[in-house]
Structure 1
Amino acid sequence: MGSFVAGLDASAVNVALPSISADLGGGLAGQQWVANAYLLALGSLILVGGSLGDLLGERRMFVLGVSGFGVVSVLCAAAPSIEVLIACRALQGVFGALLTPSSLAVIVSAFPQRERGAAIGSWTAWAGIATVVGPLAGGYLVDAASWRWIFAINVPFVAIAVTLVLRAVPARDPGRARVPVDWAGAGLCVLGLAGPVLALIRQPASGWGAPDVLIPGLAGLALLGAFLAWEARAEHPMLPLSLFRRRNFAVGNAQTFAMYGGLGATFFFLVLFLQQVAGYAALQAGVATLPTTIIMFSLSKRAGRLADRHGPRLFMGLGPIVAAAGLALMLRLDAGLDYWTDLFPALLLFSLGLSATVAPLTATVLADADERNAGIASGVNNAVARVAGLLTVAALGAVGAASFTASVDRGLDGRRLDPQAQRVVQEAKRRTLARADTGALPGPEGAAVASAVTDAAVHAFRLGIGIAAGLVALGGLLGLAGIVNPRRVVRCEDCPGGQLAGQPADAARDPLPAVALPARPRTA
């Protein structure tokens, strides 16, 4: 239930972004922040959430995370402005960072070893169901009622989750090892990531030389440098840099960053394009991306078994290249797209490549960490996936906005517009991926503005998707060039959803066990 709530909310928000923007304003920058505020808090604090679970108990952190997520969901539903909604989304990310690492650990503490496999399978299934249901439920609620219901609907699931955990899950044995929380590292990480994200989102409106772009951008980069320096000398770092000396761990996380960056940008821009340019309703946009989820959760475990048998390197190399080819097919899309001939074949190819990649990628990263560091390795990989989506959505938003503005100006070059038409064009530039509202303009002038804005939106979308395809293909090249046989066997079929479905089984391992056990023999 707890994982379902977080997954449902995360997958439904993208479908609601056009409706949120129409109601609260904010344009593309506001839409970016609604998505990025959550990812910023979640990605930078997820390792701290794992440390707090170790220090105070997984059940306590799970209950706090789920309860807080529910309370903040109500605040999101009642948000009177885009600024309040963004702040509440950031708080959702904070509580999500408590919920995500502890969810699987709660299952491990509640079930004996012989029953744990089935329990973990059910947990993974609920995460998968949330990913399927989210866009459909979100699209239906947006069309039938209001975007506010995608947040309010969380409340009954939160109540069920808290009740079940308090009644059924025992408190953890306090005798287990406790690791201090790296608060300084967490603060540096949050502020360091926030600076570049703020700069990238403000850049289209202010320009690179503006103080509100230059100052947070440079300050954020300096804080990220301070974060790395602190982690290198901290006694209990939230990000153990020593893990990156291991080849597969370093290459696998680099591939995770490239791939999940491309994936985050793809789904963000595709859903906006379908609704704001192609004219899809919210429910139609949610249904349109459903084949990816169905194929992912139908085939990824089977692909994982093949990778267990034949080795992960080719799956990690060729899978992303196939997925990138599917994204490249989306470069054909325009405002009058036909779903079955234009978008569906691209999604099919993209989904097949993605299904071949996610389980081997996660398993290989975990296999390069020893048993003692398996939990923290999973947390790092999960954080890398979140941060990748955060940064690429911000960066490609800036690129897309600049491309859109330049394309509109080229399309209207030499045409004299009256003041009303100029206002329509300026509003379109602020929204970026959207058609212009030209209903009040005279026929020829309105047609010219509408054509220029629509063509610019299609061009900006294709640019963003092209860069996303390049990032996913780069992930495949990194896999082919850098991955070697894993140091330790982690079965791909134990990681069927990769970081798309939360965290795999190794996430529940203690980073610092209280009793030193003899090392298990490793498989060559």
Structure 2
Amino acid sequence: MGQSHDTAKPVKQTTAGAEELPESREPTLHSQVTTPEVLFGHPVEPSTTTQSNPYGCRPKCFASTFSECLFVITTSFAIGQTAVLTGALMVSTARIQQGLNMNSSEVTWVVAGNSLTAGCTLLFFGKVADLFGRRSLLVYSMGLFTICMLITSFSQNAIMAEIFLALSGLTCASVVPPAIGKLGAIYEKPSRRKNRAFACFSAGNPIGFVAGAIIGGIATEVASWRTMFWTITVLYASLTMVAWFTTPQDSEQALGGLNKETLAQMDWLGALLAVAGIASFVAAFTQAPDASNGWGTPYVIAMLVVGVLLMASFLYWQSVFKHPLMPLRVWRDRNFSLLVASLCLMFYGFNSNFFWLALGWQRAYNNSSLEVAVKLLPAAIGGMVVNFGVALVQHKVSNKGLSIFAASCSIASCALLSATSKTISYWALSFAAQLFAVLGADIAFCVTNLYVMSSLPPAQQSVGGGIFQTVIRIASTIGLGVSTTVFAAAGGSTEVSVNVAWRPYQSAFWVGLVGAVIGFCLTPLLTIGRQGHRQEARSVANRDGGDRAVQTTEKKSTIV
């Protein structure tokens, strides 16, 4: 018998000759998967994108650091598709409303339609990415988003605009899981390089927002809102070409192909229940403010009840189906559940607050699109600074502390916005409120995103990213629907006039404050420490090596 030359820490032997795993940290989503069989896709072990890759070195799938940077930037703008569109729409909502003769409900649907369709289908596309490949889905999704923006620019009425903006939400949903999964598989082991890559990735939202706001403000002011969509079309056509040349092949996956066995792993019923349930539930929130009897309108009540029943049926189906879209066991991880819940409660008011702030400036102050874009710049620039700053400290400080700080900032932001009035200057409250908002949301997003990607095995990272992105988008859409109801109940006006009261906008900001306070109460229950430091990377490597050693020994003992 030849002796092993492996210098890694050996697997412990018990007196009975059985092998025992080395000590590891508290069980996470990753450590719960103890067998080679997985629920999503067909992983190749070890991943060829990270095999024998030293701590913090450039992944071998990239020929140069330049190509690596281009890929990370592309994925950042991929996840930022919704942010680009949201930023552009926020500064041009009044112009689009006037140009297409929209009422307040139709304006809400223009902004919320993209997030609604994206939230309904993210889980489905997460499974598609893990089964059929991430690279092609990433590239084609960006290309289809480009086409949707081009067609939207030629809209002649509100219905046409709403349809194609909703369809663009499908492309925003289909691009997120492959982008997250690809990034998570390439940067599999914890490291500072991974922290920086994911910080840049998370910065896609604020960068996308500022890009959209600048595009929308300048294009709408100089030409028209249609030019705004043409500019976005050119931007994403260019990014699609970059993605085609820089996105690595799916070497971390052994794809099943379009065959009967792979199709059998698709949860078709679960996808149908999720899409119908989420759409019906959220539609009730967005339609209620403009319904004839508000929440007492029969069709609003019917949509709400049907939505709740369908989502309950979805959860039951996920508990019994062999290959579920959302394995319920992921919620057994305490930190995962707390991080996602806290982040959702922050985003419950984050997007709606910026929507009402921008709309209030246009309606109550009669600001131009360009003026609104300039006023929103501190939030976008601050978001970029925060994301890159978190990358520098996330491996040095407790992420529980970061989460508590983020939740506190969200509370401060909502409180400042709820205190604004037409007699108080922009610099006194609104400026600081924006900075606190991005501090809270972006820090919390970075911590949650890195934890999910570090806790899940590579074969499940697309679906893991899809889960927390889904609940975030649903929470954002519900928050916008609830705040719209409060806005209407407080006497909110849809007219552009200097005589428009500011009180309804203050009332809408209180909705976000409630969510932020509840989210803060969850953060002290977290038990996470630092993420991405060298010791954690060594622990993960030892754990993975131990898992493979046990699997190899089990195979040998079976042969004997």
**1:3 and 1:100 in contact (8 A); partners too:** no
Residue type matched to 1:4 in 2?
F
- Relative to 1, partners in 2 of residues 1:373 and 1:71: Cα closer, same or farther, differing over 3 Å? closer
As a proportion of its length, which structure holds more helix? 1
The 1-side partners of 2:222 and 2:249 are apart by 42
Distance 1:223 1:93 in 2: 21
Partner of 1:478: 522
TM-score (norm 1): 0.77
Match of 1:275 in 2: 362
Aligned-residue CA RMSD (Å): 3.3
Which runs of 5 or more residues in structure 2 are unaligned? 1-73, 257-261, 535-543, 552-560
CA deviation after TM superposition for structure 1 residue 261, in Å: 0.9
Mark the CA change 1:483 to 1:175 in structure 2 (over 3 Å): closer, same or farther: closer
| CA–CA separation in structure 2 for the residues paired with 1:518 and 1:392 | 48
Equivalence map 1:311-330=2 (5 Å): 311-330=398-417
Q: Secondary structure at the match of 2:220?
A: helix
The reply to whether residue 33 of structure 1 matches residue 109 of structure 2 is: yes
- Name the residue aligned to 2:207: 129
Q: Which of 249, 252, 255 in structure 1 is aligned with 2:336?
A: 249
* Residue 4 of structure 1, aligned match among 66, 69, 77: 77
Determine the structure 2 residue equivalent to 1:206: 292
Return the alpha-carbon distance in structure 1 between the equivalents of residues 342 and 416 of structure 2.
22
What is the deviation of 1:162?
A: 3.5
SS in 2 for 1:404: coil
Give, in angstroms, the shift of residue 174 of structure 1.
9.8
Q: Would the alpha carbon gap of residues 492 and 373 (structure 1) be closer, same or farther in structure 2, given more than 3 Å must change?
A: farther
Deviation at 1:401, TM superposition (A): 0.9
Partner Cα distance (1:270, 1:491) in 2: 36
| Map of 1:265 onto structure 2 | 352
Q: Map of 1:289-304 to 2, 5 A cutoff? A: 289-303=376-390
1:236 aligns with 323
C-alpha deviation, 1:171, in angstroms = 4.6
Q: C-alpha separation between the residues in 1 aligned to 2:434 and 2:240? A: 37
Aligned equivalent of 1:60? 136
Change beyond 3 A, Cα 1:121–1:518 = farther
User: Which moves more between the two structures, 114-123 or 148-157?
Assistant: 114-123
Could you tell me the TM-score, scaled by structure 2's length? 0.73
Conserved? CA contact 2:218–2:369, under 8 Å: yes
Report the 3-state secondary structure (helix = DSSP H, G, I; strand = E; otherwise coil) of the residue aligned with 1:238. Answer: coil
- Residues 1:163 and 2:241 aligned together: yes
Deviations 1:360-380 (A, max 9, x none): 343345555566644433321
- Structure 1 residues 129 and 310 mapped into 2: Cα distance closer, same or farther (>3 Å)? closer
- My pick for the range that moved more, 84-93 or 322-331, is 322-331
**Shift in Å, 1:123:** 5.5
Task: Supply the distance in 2 between the matched residues of 1:519 and 1:305 (Cα, whole angstroms).
Answer: 36
Distance 2:533 2:465 in 1: 14
1:491 has 2:535 as partner: no
Partner SS for 2:527: coil
Aligned to 2:50: none
The range that moved more, 351-360 or 180-189, is: 351-360
Aligned twin of 2:174: 98
Establish whether residue 189 from structure 1 lines up as the match of residue 189 from structure 2: no
CA shift for structure 1 position 128? 4.8
**CA separation of 1:12 and 1:341: change in aligned 2, threshold 3 A:** same
Query: C-alpha displacement at 1:33, in angstroms?
Result: 0.7
Question: How far apart, in 2, do the equivalents of 1:276 and 1:142 lie?
Answer: 16
8 Å CA contact 2:139–2:243 kept in 1: the answer is yes
1-structure distance, mates of 2:440, 2:125: 32
Moved more, 101-110 or 251-260: 101-110
Name stretches of at least 5 consecutive residues in structure 1 with no aligned partner: 406-427, 437-449, 494-512
After TM superposition, give the deviation of residue 359 of structure 1 in Å.
Answer: 2.3
More displaced 10-residue stretch of structure 1: 218-227 or 130-139:
130-139
Q: Is residue 2:227 matched to residue 1:141?
A: no
In structure 2, distance between residues paired with 1:174 and 1:258? 34
- 1:511-522 matches, within 5 Å, as 517=548
1:479 positional shift: 0.6
Structure 2 counterpart of 1:465:
509
Larger Rg belongs to: 2
Structure 1 runs of 4+ off > 6 angstroms?
107-116, 118-122
Q: Structure 1, residues 307-353: CA drift from partner, whole Å, max 9, x if none? A: 53331223212321233113211223223542222422333344444
Cα gap change, 1:222 to 1:176, in 2 (>3 Å): same
Residues 412-442 of structure 1 deviation map (CA, whole Å, 9 limit, x = unaligned): xxxxxxxxxxxxxxxx4xx2xx445xxxxxx
1:31–1:478 distance in 2 versus 1, CA, 3 Å: same
Alignment of 1:490-509 (within 5 A): 490-491=531-532
Match 2:228 to one of 138, 150, 165: 150
Q: CA deviation at 1:120?
A: 6.5
Say if 1:192 and 1:219, in contact at 8 Å, map to a contact too: yes
Matched, 1:286 2:359: no
Spell out, residue by residue over 1:158-179, the C-alpha distance to the aligned partner (whole angstroms, 9 max, x if none): 3333434444556535971546
Contact 1:252 1:479 in 2 (8 A): yes
Range moving further from structure 2, 332-341 or 230-239? 332-341
Q: Report how far residue 90 of structure 1 moved.
A: 1.2
- Conserved 8 A contact 1:34-1:89: yes
Task: Please state how far the C-alpha of 1:260 moved relative to its aligned partner.
Answer: 1.0
Change in Cα spacing, 1:148 to 1:3, as seen in structure 2 (3 Å) is farther
Alpha-carbon distance between aligned partners in 1 of 2:188 and 2:89, rounded to the nearest angstrom:
36
Helix, strand or coil at the partner of 2:121: helix
CA distance in 1, matches of 2:359, 2:388: 30
CA distance in 1, matches of 2:338, 2:192: 34
Alpha-carbon contact 1:13-1:150 (below 8 Å) kept: no
